A and B are shown apart, each in its own frame.
Chain A
Amino acid sequence: MLNALEYQLIDPVEFLQPNRRLFIDTNVFMDTDARRAGGLKRLFERGQSAIIANGNPVVVPTKVVGELTKQSRIHPSGETMERAEAIKKAGATLTFLESASKAGLVRKDLGDDTNPYADDLFLKLFERFAGTYEMCLLTHDITIKLRIRLLAHRLAKRLLVGVLTKDGDLEVESDESLFERGFRKYKRHATCIAEGSGSFKDESEVAVLKPLLDDFGKAFGLKEPATNLGPRAVKSPSSPEPRRSAVASTPTNSFSAQARLKPSDTPVAFSALPKQGDHVTWASADRSGSLVLGALLGEGGEGTVYDADLSTVVKIFDKDHLTRHRKEKIELLVDRNLRAKGLCIPSAVVRNGNGEFVGYVMPKASGREFQRTVFNKRKFEREFPSWKKADLVDICISFLEKVQYLHSMNVILGDINPKNLMVDEKKNVFIIDADSWQLEGYPCPVGTPMFASPAMLGKTYSDVLRTMEDELFAVATMLFMIVMTGQFPYIRTGTDGDMVQLIKEGNFAFQYENRNNKDQPDGDWKYMWSHIHKPVKDLFWHTFHREGKHYKKRPTAAEWLEAFKAYKSYLGNKRMNFDPMSNDVYPIRNKAFKQDTPIRDCPTCGRQNAIAGIWIDDTQEHSLPRQCNKCRDQQPGRAAAAPTITVPCRDCSRPFPKSQLKYGRCPSCAQKHDERQARANTLDPSRLCVRCQKPFITYGNVEWHQRNGRSVPTTHRAGSGGRYPAGCVPTLPRTPRTGPTASTTKPSAQTQVGFWARLRKWFTGN
């Protein structure tokens, strides 16, 4: 049995109160464990008066009764003794349930027979009624326990799962204990599969448990239990063992974790820059040679890249970017002799005919920059027409594995942007521009505003070392922009195009849970967002929204990796991923609400799965729109919507579409107005009432007096009869402190108390 720390005991009577419900699963009735013998009997003994008084019988769904009936019909001969006993118990239970339901202690008419899985039934019941009742399910099934615990977490409702002790108490396990037992179950099934003896049941359990445990761990912040579980037998196919270990192993040759910023960069001298067709020499950690610069592959802001041979390229810096930092950084990287798939790490230093440093050799990347592929619909559909969402998730995973490796080496990429990442049609991801990486105190001298963390904004890239938090902001932004095919996380309506402002304000406008953000951008972006796997969505929201949990402490590459791997398995799991449109790169409607939401092709345009039912609470059924969103938007009435009429803003008189104005003000003036308004209603803490020494007048009131040429009052306003408000009690001038210093105090010191001193005085009253 569990030890005391791992579970809590609850009086079952609590769940027999009118606003609560208690359910029992099949396996509890068939439990033959002697340690719990008699528990069910005790439960009913203890609960019967509450059940009758509240008219709240214990629920044993029809489905469960059906399963018990089926079990009881199995012929016990040939079964193990334990099984035979369980079968016998099933029969006895049916008799008991029959009489208990007559006595009003049990309800067995709930739940339909159409769903083949009792688990789903409980989950659906719990989800459906979570807002109405607190509920408890008695079951021994770990999987359903995990699912309901997760549901409770997601909905923030009290939904319990437990078993009975032999005294009839409800024993509810801790999250950790549940998680660990879930892993053991997973391992059992996974081992069967790995050993080649896996049944269909093993396969399906693993398929359910793997993503479930990932979600669970994520939700409760639990790490996969390492103890006595042995090596995990199954790895997701996207990360074969060798590569994973190469990436995850703690590197022994990593760079320093706390190197200080190097002194400013300076140019290095050179006589000539080689071009296409020129001979150059190269020197790696252990070899050297010469080569001819081949075809020009690309030009960047700092240099030009040429073909060298089939698998390597050469980058030659341009005249303004041949600097000491770059040279030393590249020498450090070359010395380490690092190799990792998809990382274009310098492998040799390149010199011109005069032996001067001019550039470096690196592995050749294939494909094209993100900027020219996934970040734009037109280009995306041209380059990778057959890709699905899962492919984009693979891109994220691949990017993250590389980032995780570099971070483990204490390398900060710095200038993460869609022109420094390349991808080919086989989903190979490459990170280029290694010369800009930050390592050993050499800063990353370049940056891209869209990926600059709020703390980096306004700083000169070459003058500071980026922190890991800065880096993780860029990582998060990149992941968002991959999943959202190029859309910027802080996009919203009502901006004036000032990216810096957008990042600073942290107003992440995509719809999240029951927050309604009116600034969500137009178009299909909201649909795309709605289909993202919940755990990934959670991380995005909490990272980007200024009120999010991770706004200041951003997820690490490892945390993202976990979330994206869960996203991947979720997409591959037909049962969890019930809405086929979640697989599309460009969804055109919101994600279907639940598993049983009807989904149809659009009869007008034929787009697949373009229509999803909308649940109507009143009628308790789904309503199906006649056409998809695209067809609806194309209806003549809508398309010919009146041309946007613009109206001048009352403050700045710039023209704006009417719909954007707030009380006649454009978004930016409206914000300024609100701020002014808020300030106007705030007490000016620097003006104290001369009677009571407390702040007494608002900024707005002060301004009003000044505007109208009146002198600003100095006391609380006296009402009729010259009476001051109750709190305005005159404070006596403080008696000067006695002692040797008192005589030296200047007489004016009393009146020259600083602002903070006065504020403190107001708070503390002395």
Chain B
Amino acid sequence: MARLNIGADDLVDNPTPRVPVSLCLDTSSSMSGPPIQELVRGVNLFYDAIDEDDDAHDSAEINIVEFNSSTGLVHDFASIERLRRISALTASGTTAMGAGVNLALDTLENRKATYSGSGVLYYQPWLVLMTDGAPTDNIDSAVRRVVDLVEAKKLTVFPIGIGGGADMKTLARFSPNRPPLRLDGLKFKEFFEWLSRSVARVSRSTPGDTVKLDLEGLAGWAEL
């Protein structure tokens, strides 16, 4: 997928504080077929919902990191205005979750540095980690980084297990504050709708505010 170039004007002309959201997605071979199709549909729906929300529209910046046998950037951070919907993701290989999370954290740090360098206000970033299995690489350093950031209130993380095969114990290590969530069937749509509502809610707050996430809203699609 072509990398998008983000115009500098876009970044600084908009005084709205940004919420950087990194979607860190498992695209290992086990995801092939309906799961990956539903995932793509869910992500695009998420984009549409952000686009339509008057507040989230100007504040959300989203990127996608995928991990399988290795890890890579599907697209870099961009405002919704500049984001093309994704056409497909290819599922193959193993589950380098540690590498994936590390890359996602790096991109978030980078994005924050860009905000900081140009004088753009931002909210502490969000990391959405979705997997249907268990890691095949070492996740210790990634776990440590995530836990440190969450405890320092510098990251909000949403570890999401897809289907019955997801290793919830591993996901739990990434989530010191609340248990990870397991997706009910393939209800990506409901999850991403909830996520966009949550992003919108944050963008209506001011950086520094503690925003209550509407966890009740999760009940419909996830089992806790």
Please give the residue numbers on chain A whose beta carbons come within 8 Å of chain B beta carbons, in ascending order. Answer: 371-372, 375-379, 417, 419, 448-450, 484-488, 491-500, 509, 519-525, 644, 646, 654-657, 659-660, 666-667
Contact = CB atoms under 8 A, between A and B. Distances in A.
B58 interface: yes
B114 A644 contact: yes
A249 B9 CA distance: 47
Interface stretch (B13-21, B35-43, B131-139): B13-21
Given A371-B55, A497-B207, A655-B109, 5 more contacts: A379-B54, A449-B207, A499-B121, A523-B9, A657-B114
B120 to A, nearest CB: 8
B113 A657 contact: yes
Given A376-B15, A378-B14, A521 B119 contact: yes
B110 interface: yes
B121 A496 contact: no
Contact of B106 (A644, A655, A660): A655
22 contacts: A375-B16, A376-B14, A376-B16, A377-B14, A378-B14, A379-B58, A417-B206, A448-B209, A449-B206, A450-B206, A491-B15, A492-B119, A494-B116, A495-B119, A497-B123, A497-B207, A522-B8, A522-B118, A523-B13, A524-B12, A656-B113, A660-B113
B122 interface: yes
Interface of B: 8-9, 11-17, 54-55, 58, 106, 109-110, 112-124, 204, 206-209
Contacts of B54: 372, 379
A520 B119 contact: yes
Instruction: List the 4 shortest-distance A-B pairs measured between CB atoms, nearest first.
Output: A521-B119, A523-B12, A449-B208, A522-B118
A714 to B, nearest CB: 41
A75 B198 CA distance: 84
Contact of A488 (B9, B114, B121, B209): B121
A417 B204 CA distance: 12
A101 to B, nearest CB: 57
Nearest to A486: B15
A452 B120 CA distance: 19
A419 B110 CA distance: 31
B119 A522 contact: yes
Contacts of A519: 119
A615 to B, nearest CB: 28
A477 to B, nearest CB: 11
Contacts of B115: 497
A377 B13 contact: yes
Contact of A487 (B15, B106, B118): B15
B118 A521 contact: yes
A499 B12 contact: no
A285 B120 CA distance: 48
B58 A523 contact: no
Contact of B12 (A448, A494, A521): A521
Contacts of A657: 113-114, 117
Contacts of B106: 655
Contacts of B9: 523
Nearest to B58: A376
Contact of A495 (B8, B55, B121, B124): B121
Contact of A500 (B8, B110, B124, B208): B208
Contacts of B15: 375-377, 484-488, 491
B113 A524 contact: no
Contact of A498 (B16, B118, B208): B208
Contacts of A666: 113
A497 B116 contact: yes
Contacts of A494: 116-117
B56 to A, nearest CB: 12
A491 B58 contact: no
Contacts of B204: 419
Best-surrounded residue of B12, B58, B116, B124 (most CB of chain A within 10 A): B116
A89 to B, nearest CB: 61
Contacts of A524: 12-13
Best-surrounded residue of B112, B117, B204 (most CB of chain A within 10 A): B117
A497 B119 contact: no
Given A450-B206, A522-B8, A491 B13 contact: no
Nearest to A378: B58
Contacts of B123: 497
Given A449-B208, A525-B12, A493 B121 contact: no
A509 B121 CA distance: 14
A499 B112 contact: no
B110 A646 contact: yes
Nearest to A496: B116
Contacts of B16: 375-376, 486
A659 B116 CA distance: 11
A9 to B, nearest CB: 53
B14 A491 contact: no
Given A522-B8, A525-B12, A654 B121 contact: no
A655 B107 CA distance: 9
A379 B118 CA distance: 22
A493 B14 contact: no
A593 B123 CA distance: 38
B4 to A, nearest CB: 12
B206 A655 contact: no
Nearest to A659: B117
A492 B110 CA distance: 17
B105 to A, nearest CB: 10
A494 B114 CA distance: 9
Contacts of B13: 377, 523-524
B207 A499 contact: yes
Contacts of B121: 488, 491, 495, 497, 499
Nearest to A493: B119
Nearest to A657: B117
Contact of A654 (B17, B109, B208): B109
Nearest to A490: B121
Contacts of B207: 449-450, 497-499
A376 to B, nearest CB: 6
A499 B119 contact: no
Contacts of A667: 116
B9 to A, nearest CB: 7
